[in-house]
Amino acid sequence: MQEDAYIPFCGTPPLPEQLLTSWTLDPFLLFGLAIFSALLWWQAERRGTALGGAVLVTLLFVSPLCAASMALFSARVGQHILLTLVAAPLLAAALPRLRLPVWPVSLAFALLFWGWHMPIPYAATLKADLTYWVMHLSLTGTAVALFVAFRAAGALAAVPAVFTAAQLTAFAVVLTLAPSAWHDWHAFTAPPYGLSALGDQQLAGALMWVAGGGLFMVLVALQVRRLLRYEAIANNAN
């Protein structure tokens, strides 16, 4: 970790006592978030929902969670859970309805989610700002597209939704049961938090398994509820 003079975008991994003061107030980041929020507000059909999504995205990159994601793989996974399973559905619900192909978007999301957490791509995000932002923009973009596609597909989204939930669970199982840590970086950064690199990875898997799986089931339940409501309205109209 000491071989490279490059400082990751969210800063060097903070010690536990430094974490709460480790806010990321980079002017380019703040400018980019302001432009993103303005464009979202302009395009949104549901501006209250858009505001909630924009505030959450801002907090995920400005708050100490950004710095924590440099120290702990579990914090990075937690950041990605919130980004793809909380912020992305809010953004998708705020945007105008679009018809996107459900299966290609579901497969793209699965490939990107697995791929960016693999050892080589993950290490690359710690060595260059461009790679770091390609990761986050691609994950967020495909997650928003996924929920836009689910919203437009209605009942046809059921099977792709089950596939997406299954691949997230499979990812959690692989992380949790892996016999060794994937990321050498965290062999140096996790111990100050009382975790080994493997323990940190197992915590990441548990977060994905419980929090990620729970959030996705809630989202699927809301989708089913909406479909049933539309069906009831249609039946009453007839």
Instruction: Give tens-digit pLDDT for 95-119.
Output: 998 899 999 999 999 999 999 999 9
Which tokens go with 32? Answer: 């980019």
Residue 142 pLDDT greater than 80, yes or no: yes
Residue 158 pLDDT greater than 80, yes or no: no
**DSSP secondary structure, 99-131, as one string:** ---HHHHHHHHHHHHHHHTSHHHHHHHTT-HHH
Please answer whether residues 237 and 193 qualify as being in contact, where contact means their C-beta atoms are separated by less than 8 angstroms: no
Buried b (16+ CB within 10 A) or exposed e, 13-39: bbeeeebeebebebeebeeebeeebee
Residue 233 pLDDT greater than 80, yes or no: no
So what's the pLDDT on residue 1? 43
User: Band of the pLDDT at 55, cuts 50, 70, 90?
Assistant: very high
Counting every residue written for the chain, the total comes to 238
Amino acid at 117: H
Q: CA-CA distance, 125 to 72, in Å (whole number)?
A: 14
pTM of the model: 0.89
User: Band of the pLDDT at 2, cuts 50, 70, 90?
Assistant: very low
Closest CA to 81 of 42, 51, 121, 113: 113
Q: How confident is the model over 164-200, as pLDDT tens digits? A: 888 889 999 999 999 999 999 999 999 999 999 999 9
Residue 215 pLDDT greater than 50, yes or no: yes
